[in-house]
A = this chain, B = another copy of it.
Amino acid sequence: MSPGGFASGGDVTGVHPAWLPPEAMRPIGARTVSVHGDGLDTVRAEVRQACDRHGGAVVAGGADLVLTLSGVDTGPDGFVVSRDGVVTTVAAEDPAGLLYGLFHVARVGEAAFGAPHPPGTHRPAHGRRMLDHWDNVDVHPVMGQVERGYSGGSLFWDGGALRADLTRVTAYARLLAACGVNAVTVNNVNVHATETLLLTDRLADIATIADLLRPYHIRMHLAVNFAAPVADLGTADPLDARVQAWWATATDGVYAAIPDFGGYVVKADSEGQPGPYGYGRDHADGANALAAALAPHGGVVHWRAFVYDHRQDWRDRTTDRARAAYEHFAPLDGRFLGNVIVQVKHGPIDFQVREPVSPLIAAMPATDVAVEVQVTQEYTGQQRHVCYLAPMWSEVLRTIRTAGPVGVSNAGDDPFWTGHPLAQANLYAFGRLAWAPDLDPREVLDEWIGLTFPGTPDVVGETLHAVMDDSWRTYEDYTAPLGVGFMVRPGHHYGPDVDGYEYTPWGTYHFADRDGVGVDRTCATGTGFTGQYPPVLARLYESVHDCPDELLLFFHHVPYGHVLHDGGTVIQHIYDTHFAGADAVAAMRDRWAALPADLVGPAFAARVADLLDEQVRGAAEWRDQITAYFFRKSGVRDAHGRRIP
């Protein structure tokens, strides 16, 4: 056994194979396979490795499975699968498409070699399916190696330098390709001093990583510091010709080293990062300066819309952080160059477990908009709690058609990649929903289970579904009632502190007093945020009667006795959901404990069990703090007489 306790077979010793254990490729490797076309080194290598392991063979003709670059018109990354009763054929128009087709066969498994079926075409909903890593090159004094990282160190960086052993980058690229991700940013959007130099002095490091991602058709992106030209020019004014020339030269250098480089990611004028406002310019000016440098090379700028006043006066109830992204960006619609993508967090605040969709996403019809979701569980249990996020993302992604989602990665050098082994499913699901937003989250979980635990008895899948399917709503139940968020410990954001952000400059308040709770964001009496939505939604959210219960306190300040659509009061709902949520976590732990450990591997089973203990403790703490807080404020007793501390 390796140090991590895993049987051999994963690609990296001591590291869990995630959703690509050797057995996952058996449906391919146990057969005869022929591969036709050029530029298919990765596909051929995958097939050869699978056949070597599982007794199949790579053949020139007469194969069970034919993988071919020809005769189809799928568009980039797409593929066509057909079966004539004897042969399964996967055809694509580019090598990436054929690689995705190959992993599709692994996902479908033996069923891909069953009944005949006519050609079925698979095309990604989005051409770019990107993960952003918030990895620092240097260890940051507060944020460490990975900002909001709950999975150990960075896969790329180690204390100021590129990791000596980059084997896991290749394994990671393979995992990402198998779920559909094709773009990766390898450094934190908060670009500190060392990381600023990646663009110039340390380009060789970036090129080394790009070389490892390329075989899996993943393009390298880079988070850059808007102020990078200052060191040379004393200014970063985006309308200054010298600054524009600086970006052009720097970008030429990047493409000389990495011809298929994807582009830049920028966090500007946000939480202390420099930006165009410092020069009296706006975000279109800023984004366009970088976009112009990238355009000749086919690169793009992801320009984040996460811009707000993080030094707000909590006494001022008229300012509303929820309004900020829209106010800063909506007026700029139409002014961005064609290769600018405005990257918008899915909700108007900041990755809370429950938020309405950001109104900005619908407010820029003339701009490419990417929706950003947080795969890393900053506000959803920090990979110590089970919280399968696909149902949340699905609600956003299936209803909105944008330039392509961006996920903040949850992977690190942890032996299980993601700290909590079950958080692997979030990474997998992000890729799959980026490819096909209409997928049912339960189906995606089925896929993940089938690949990760091929050939195991039904009890494995049943247990995982029981533990994971509703885990997002369970997390919501024991943490954030009715759309109120940010009742977390300031700084690290783990565990409850109802007033932790209430009297701070961060713009994240609940306004609970002895009479009621919630933020009045209506146009009639509140901050006017509802007015940023298209009329149908604006009317829905504006009305305290029609507003969906789960968003009630996000949009309205109501008395504790306010009656919800189910007939119960707000205060009783707070009590009921918190007791129910904590009970559900206890049930999750019991369910997991009943699963024989050898079915998922002893190390996997033990890590999940340990973390469920922490989740049971944490859920009880959330329940007790929230119920105690609101009981002390409201004075209303629980209708069921349960103990509130």
**Interface residues, chain A, with chain B CB atoms under 8 Å away:** 141, 314-315, 489-491, 496-500, 503, 512-515, 624-625, 628-629, 631-635, 645
Contacts and interface: CB of A to CB of B under 8 A. Distances in A.
Given A497-B499, A499-B497, A513 B314 contact: no
Contacts of A625: 503
A617 to B, nearest CB: 11
A645 to B, nearest CB: 4
A624 B515 CA distance: 20
20 contacts: A314-B645, A315-B645, A489-B490, A497-B499, A497-B500, A498-B503, A499-B499, A499-B500, A499-B629, A500-B500, A503-B624, A512-B632, A513-B631, A513-B632, A514-B632, A514-B633, A514-B634, A514-B635, A632-B633, A633-B633
Q: Which 9 A-B pairs have CB atoms at the shortest separation, nearest pair first?
A: A513-B632, A315-B645, A499-B499, A514-B514, A503-B625, A514-B635, A514-B633, A315-B624, A514-B632
Q: In the complex this chain forms, how many copies of it are found?
A: 2
A628 B503 contact: yes
Given A315-B624, A491-B491, A645-B314, A503 B514 contact: no
Contacts of A314: 645
A628 B315 CA distance: 9
A624 B316 CA distance: 12
A506 to B, nearest CB: 13
A644 to B, nearest CB: 10
Contacts of A489: 490
Contacts of A512: 632
In terms of DSSP, what is the predominant structure of the interface of chain A?
A: loop
Given A498-B503, A512-B632, A513-B631, 10 more contacts: A315-B624, A315-B645, A491-B491, A496-B503, A503-B628, A513-B632, A513-B633, A514-B632, A514-B635, A515-B635
A513 to B, nearest CB: 4
Contacts of A635: 513-515
A287 to B, nearest CB: 36
Contacts of A633: 513-514, 632-633
Nearest to A316: B645
Nearest to A499: B499
Contacts of A515: 635
Nearest to A644: B315
A497 B503 contact: yes
Contacts of A498: 499, 503
A498 to B, nearest CB: 7
Nearest to A631: B513
Contacts of A490: 489
Nearest to A628: B503
A40 to B, nearest CB: 49
Contacts of A499: 497-500, 629
Nearest to A511: B632
Chain B CB within 10 Å, residue with most, of A490, A500, A503: A503
A574 to B, nearest CB: 15
Nearest to A645: B315
Contacts of A503: 496-498, 624-625, 628-629
Contacts of A632: 512-514, 633
Contacts of A624: 315, 503
A59 B314 CA distance: 69
Nearest to A315: B645
Nearest to A626: B503
A351 to B, nearest CB: 23
A624 B491 CA distance: 22
A511 to B, nearest CB: 8
A371 to B, nearest CB: 34
Contacts of A645: 314-315
Contacts of A500: 497, 499-500
A625 B503 CA distance: 7
Nearest to A512: B632
A496 to B, nearest CB: 7
A334 B499 CA distance: 47
Nearest to A504: B497
Contacts of A315: 624, 628, 645
A141 B503 CA distance: 27
Contacts of A491: 491
Q: Which of A499, A500, A631, A633 has the most CB of B within 10 A?
A: A499
Nearest to A624: B315
A364 B514 CA distance: 46
A622 to B, nearest CB: 10
A496 B500 CA distance: 11
Nearest to A620: B315
Contacts of A496: 503
Interface centre among A490, A514, A635 (most CB of B within 10 A): A514
A488 B496 CA distance: 17
Nearest to A513: B632
Contacts of A513: 631-633, 635
A632 B512 CA distance: 8
A499 B489 CA distance: 11
A500 B497 CA distance: 7
Contacts of A497: 499-500, 503
Nearest to A317: B645
Nearest to A141: B141
Most buried by B among A496, A634, A645: A645
